[in-house]
């Protein structure tokens, strides 16, 4: 198992996936993000999905998961 670092450029800036380092690590991988219905989990899910990574959302609130998935 490997950890992936998600970083922001400055306070309040949208976080970005360090794509150069991530490409070999995450090729043909699926990220399972727990707590994806709000907060850090939702932000991580959106950031990874926007970077083109395959993401599975997991959380307690189905309505909020659907909202995050719709973004």
Domain boundaries, the chain: 29-71
Question: How far apart, in whole angstroms, are the C-alpha atoms of residue 45 and residue 32?
Answer: 9
Q: Where are the beta strands (DSSP E) in 1-71?
A: 6-8, 15-17, 30-34, 54-58
1-10 per-position pLDDT tens digit: 444 555 544 5
Question: How far apart, in whole angstroms, are the C-alpha atoms of residue 44 and residue 17?
Answer: 9
pTM above 0.75, yes or no: no
In the chain, % of residues over pLDDT 70? 62
Asked if residue 18 lies in contact with residue 5, where contact means CB atoms within 8 angstroms, the answer is: yes
């Amino acid at each position: 198992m490997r950890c992936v670092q998600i970083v922001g450029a400055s306070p309040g800036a949208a976080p970005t996936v360090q794509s150069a380092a991530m490409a070999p690590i995450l090729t043909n991988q699926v990220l399972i993000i727990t707590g994806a219905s709000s907060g850090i989990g939702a932000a991580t899910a959106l950031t990874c999905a926007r970077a083109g990574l395959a993401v599975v959302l997991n959380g307690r609130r189905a309505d909020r998961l659907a909202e995050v998935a719709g973004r």
